[in-house]
Structure formats: C-alpha cells, structure tokens
Amino acid sequence: MDRHQWNEKYAAQPILWAVDPNPFLAGEVGDRPPGRALDLGAGEGRTTLWLAARGWDVTAVDFSDVALDRGRQRVEAAGAPGTVGWVCADLVGYDPTGGPYDLVLFMFIHLEPAERRRLLRAAAATLAPGGIVLVAGYHTDQATRASGFRDPARLFTADAIAADLKGLRIERAERLEVGDDVDAIVRAVRD
C-alpha cells in the first residue's frame, strides 16, 4: 500500500490498531532504563506512547501523516514524561541518522528484502554501545495462513533478519506462533 492508501485506511476509523503495544515489546524492554529510541513505522504511535510513558525520548517515523497526527494527539493527551519527535518519511528512502539510539524498533514492517536490509543496517549503525534492535514481523510461514499479511516476497525468517544485522550480537532469533499468526522475532545488541 502507498501513503495515500494508508492515510485513507487510518482516516476511515477512530483507531486502527489496538491501544496496547505488541506484547513482545514489554517483555524485551519493560525493565530497561529509558533512553533514546527510534520507532520505525510508528503508525498511530501506540509503541511510541508506551515508550514515552516510561520516560523514553522517541523519534517516531511513519509515512502516514494521518497516523502521525493521531499519535501526536494520543501522546499529548497522555502527558507522557518522555519526549517525541514525529517524522513523516517513507522508510524506503529514510536515513535514520540522529543517533545514538539505545533502542531501534522495527515492528511489523514488511519491505522488499533489499530495502529492509538497507534500513536495518543503517538503523543498527545508529546504536549506542549496549543499544538493542528489536524486530518483530510476519514469518515466511505466514504466507499459508488465513490471517495477517501474506505477501511472501516481504515476509522473513528470524535467520534472515539476523543475517541483515551482521556485526551485532544476536540474543534472540526465533519463529513464534501467536494465535493464527507466525512471527519472526529478533533481538540484537551492539557490544
């Protein structure tokens, strides 16, 4: 889908995604002290809000200005102690400079493999020592399921993501079944 289609999708209903962030996020960073985070594909800001509420300073990037406006309103209404910088940009050409970041999130972003690899490597290069990259998305096995995103060209395995993040220490790389969905989960750290 392009920017216009996503804007229409977001504008068609009051909130597109559940308010709570992906459960994977809380399990991976819930006890980590706040720092600077880069939320790629932030959408309506549910993950950004969760982080900002815990004191993180977040750069939230998405190409839907409708979603970003909604996210901005949610964060302001919550009075979150962290700060948020909202960036309207297409991730295909986005240059994630502005680090160092303590956390980079790549949650359910399904780009073409070469685009994904470029963005992940560029984002990983912005990590501070000890910083982590968290990736969660539909596994290639999702293509045979009835629900979720099923474009096999844009799905991935945890091993493919780990290969995209050469130079980082891979702490977790696994296939995870969540209800009817099959996800690939990766946590990588800059030493």
Q: What is the band of 24 on the pLDDT scale with cuts at 50, 70, 90?
A: confident
Residue 5 in this model has a pLDDT that exceeds 90:
no
Q: Which of 20-34, 68-82, 115-129, 131-145 shows the lowest mean pLDDT across its residues?
A: 20-34
Span 38-75, pLDDT tens digits: 999 999 889 999 999 999 999 999 999 998 999 999 89
| Cα 2-17-64 angle, rounded to 5 deg | 30
Average pLDDT across the chain, whole number:
89
Task: For residue 69, count CB atoms less than 10 angstroms from its CB and return exposed for 0-12, middle for 13-18, buried for 19 or more.
Answer: middle
pLDDT of residue 127: 98
DSSP 92-148: TT----S--EEEEEEES----HHHHHHHHHHHHTTEEEEEEEEEEEEBGGGGGSSSS
- CB 100 within 8 Å of CB 126: yes
What's the pLDDT score for residue 2? 67
Give mean pLDDT, residues 92-104.
Answer: 95
Query: What phi, psi does 151 have (nearest 5°)?
Result: -75, 105
Residue 11 has what pLDDT? 60
How far apart CA 28 and CA 38 sit, in angstroms, is 15
Contacts of residue 181, defined as CB under 8 A and 6 or more positions apart, other chains included, come to 138, 142, 145, 147, 148
Short-list 141, 134, 145, 151, CA closest to 185: 134
pLDDT band per the 50, 70, 90 thresholds, residue 179: confident
Query: Is a pLDDT exceeding 60 seen at residue 137?
Result: yes
Structure-token match 């962290």, residue found: 82
Instruction: For residue 43, give the DSSP letter.
Output: T
pLDDT of 16 above 60:
no
- Say if residues 124 and 117 touch (Cβ distance below 8 Å): no
Please report the pLDDT score of residue 187 as a whole number: 97
- Residue 152's nearest CA partner among 164, 143, 144 is 143
Distance of CA 69 to the CA centre of its chain: 18
User: Which of residues 30 and 3 earns the better pLDDT score?
Assistant: 30
